[in-house]
Structure 1
């Protein structure tokens, strides 16, 4: 292996770290494809009460794990990982941007670019996410735990889903803080187990001043949730009976719609966009509208003539177009696996944060629609009114 590029790279990394000029350092392109190994490493300087450390986040397919190191120890760890587990490395500092690209034959190539950052990212370490404790009384009232706070066999999947959902929201509101007195609306709140956990985490764990409203059409569920909220003294948690497309609060800062069927997800997204909500979170359910309109391209017929694959393609197309519409409305979007497939088939989540420059996505939308013969998308029709 050529030594000069690597020596130059790690000398620059140490120089940037020791002079507080480091922004971040990443390792990517794993040498082995193994789901049990991290897909990449992300290192950044972090300021703690007792000094500065290098925090290295290991990003796996289904989770992230962070480890803290003294600066020199952290750089040695990253250097060893590059030698044994990754091919590529990128260094971002206030003075330079360097990239290392290694071949499978052992050759290393160094690329230098102009720096893109104006200030180093040295922040206080984020408090570790705390899961919803199983002894919370409302979980028993909802049938997820026993009277002694033990998760029941039937409630395990829901309990895991609760904590995954709350963890997602936790990261969003820490990175994109809600204003004091923010109104959070859960469209189609159902039995309310996610709504209760969300309110508990936002108000009791994070100490935020928020109001949470669950909107649900079924009267018995609304009445039950109201009683549980009263029993738990959740003063700013309310449940309203109504339809997603007709509920219009005066203020809407975060909108949530999990497992809203077919175009009900689009109704919820439209409500959030129209109200200027800062954060949107949806996990779509059955997606029929686009599927009925799709025409399979001839080149893809050998693949999509199978019913199950066509159904999945229709779902991907529906959600992909939703993400493009959101970006066109000024939202930064992410699509990811919400919960492992063995727990629920409704496992794709879309998060969107407002405040970004609207993206020019119309060409991409038109191309996708033309490719699959789609004449209409319900969310696009709704946004045409906006």
Structure 2
């Protein structure tokens, strides 16, 4: 390990000259989802710390460390997982890079930053949505001055996290300019309006977005708000998810549709060949009612909370596998942190051009093995997609 680099890192932090540090050029040993790591000094109530931002394909994770902990993390990441580290101080810039053989190359340059780092922990984040948008006031998120209400802070954070995920997906899988999008179980419309606003004002698209909501009062209310704020391509209809039949579907969204309503939405997306599917499942009653563990986990499921969480894992894990069996590349990750809402899981699925029969059969076989281990006769999404219990499509 190249000790002079870590000596400079320690000294810069202790003297208050450290601005930031970035790790890039990941090696084969780093998870494919982790793109780079960004470090900066912060001042917390417990004292000075170094914030590590782990940047994944669809999310960021932030962890705060003491100097000693940070150095240990940095040593573990440098060289082995990332081939380049750039260290910026107010006095000089440093680059430590590694050739494929592991030989380090040390370079110094004149300082590119003259101002000390901003040590505030909660810096103003770049927002993809303007809080002065009229629809936010109409839906009770902001006051008449465009300020987010204290009671709506969690919803505001959820909206912005949602848009960050959408932006990340569309950066690599763009939609056509006239995209047709359905939001199944749109409810009060917060995220439906946010998506339409983002697509039109941030990306410059002219989409048609339809919110499908069973409760007529909510659908009518949201439709009236859309009319008042001039969102001509945003529509809300009062209809059961099971009855919705779009003529065209580029993107399907199902956020917190209860129990099997999520499966109805996923089946619609699959049948209509949606390019992108986003689902944040709600409750998991169907699997939990049928679940009877046939393995060594059985003693653990005597506890209600563990049984509930296992049902969530099974339900959403099988959903992801069934999406993969239908030519989608899937990912499952945290939507928003649990301090904001308990409904914090998101499944993303992006259509791929082709899935081999071997891959499809393997995914369905995995579903059968999982069901056998937990005594499940079927997953509701299987029934909707007309799969037999033999591990292949019927």
> 1: CA distance between counterparts of 2:231 and 2:311?
40
Q: Which residue of 2 aligns with 1:215?
A: 212
Q: Which residue of 2 aligns with 1:255?
A: 252
Q: Which residue of 2 aligns with 1:140?
A: 137
Q: Which moved more, 1:198-207 or 1:293-302?
A: 293-302
Does structure 1 retain, via aligned residues, the 8 Å contact 2:294–2:372?
no
Residue 303 of structure 1, CA deviation: 2.0
Does structure 1 retain, via aligned residues, the 8 Å contact 2:330–2:348?
yes
Q: Which residue of 2 aligns with 1:111?
A: none
For the aligned residues, what is the CA RMSD? 3.2
Deviations 1:127-164 (A, max 9, x none): x9642121111111001111111111111111111111
User: Residue 369 of structure 2: which of 355, 367, 370 is its match?
Assistant: 367
1:181 and 2:190 matched: no
Residue 356 of structure 1, CA deviation: 4.7
SS at match of 1:213: strand
Does structure 1 retain, via aligned residues, the 8 Å contact 2:59–2:165?
no
Q: Which residue of 1 aligns with 2:313?
A: 316
Does structure 1 retain, via aligned residues, the 8 Å contact 2:295–2:373?
no
SS at match of 1:314: helix
Q: Which residue of 2 aligns with 1:7?
A: none
Unaligned runs of 5+ in 1: 4-22, 31-38, 44-55, 66-78, 101-127
Does structure 2 retain, via aligned residues, the 8 Å contact 1:214–1:239?
yes
Q: Which moved more, 1:298-307 or 1:231-240?
A: 298-307
Q: Which residue of 2 aligns with 1:381?
A: 383
Residue 310 of structure 1, CA deviation: 0.5
Does structure 2 retain, via aligned residues, the 8 Å contact 1:216–1:239?
yes
> 1: CA distance between counterparts of 2:100 and 2:223?
57
Does structure 1 retain, via aligned residues, the 8 Å contact 2:128–2:202?
no
> 2: CA distance between counterparts of 1:260 and 1:378?
14
Does structure 2 retain, via aligned residues, the 8 Å contact 1:29–1:86?
no
Q: Which residue of 2 aligns with 1:109?
A: none
Q: Which residue of 1 aligns with 2:80?
A: 88
Residue 232 to residue 134, structure 1, CA distance change in 2 (3 Å): same
- How many aligned positions are there? 304
Residue 181 of structure 1, CA deviation: 1.3
User: Residue 42 of structure 1: which of 33, 36, 48 is its match?
Assistant: 36
User: Residue 351 of structure 1: which of 342, 348, 352 is its match?
Assistant: 348
Q: Which moved more, 1:360-369 or 1:373-382?
A: 360-369
Q: Which residue of 2 aligns with 1:25?
A: 26
Q: Which residue of 1 aligns with 2:276?
A: 279
Q: Which residue of 2 aligns with 1:119?
A: none
Residue 292 to residue 144, structure 1, CA distance change in 2 (3 Å): same
SS at match of 1:154: helix
Residue 81 to residue 243, structure 1, CA distance change in 2 (3 Å): same
Residue 62 of structure 1, CA deviation: 6.2
Residue 334 to residue 311, structure 1, CA distance change in 2 (3 Å): same
Residue 59 of structure 1, CA deviation: 2.7
1:59 and 2:55 matched: yes
Unaligned runs of 5+ in 2: 4-23, 38-51, 63-70, 85-98, 103-124, 388-393
Residue 288 of structure 1, CA deviation: 0.7
Residue 193 to residue 41, structure 1, CA distance change in 2 (3 Å): closer
Structure-2-length-normalised TM-score: 0.70
Structure 1 runs of 4+ aligned residues shifted over 6 Å read 27-30
1:225 and 2:227 matched: no
Does structure 1 retain, via aligned residues, the 8 Å contact 2:220–2:237?
no
> 2: CA distance between counterparts of 1:276 and 1:29?
33
User: Residue 232 of structure 2: which of 222, 235, 239 is its match?
Assistant: 235
Q: Which residue of 2 aligns with 1:106?
A: none
Residue 201 to residue 295, structure 1, CA distance change in 2 (3 Å): same
Residue 26 of structure 1, CA deviation: 4.0
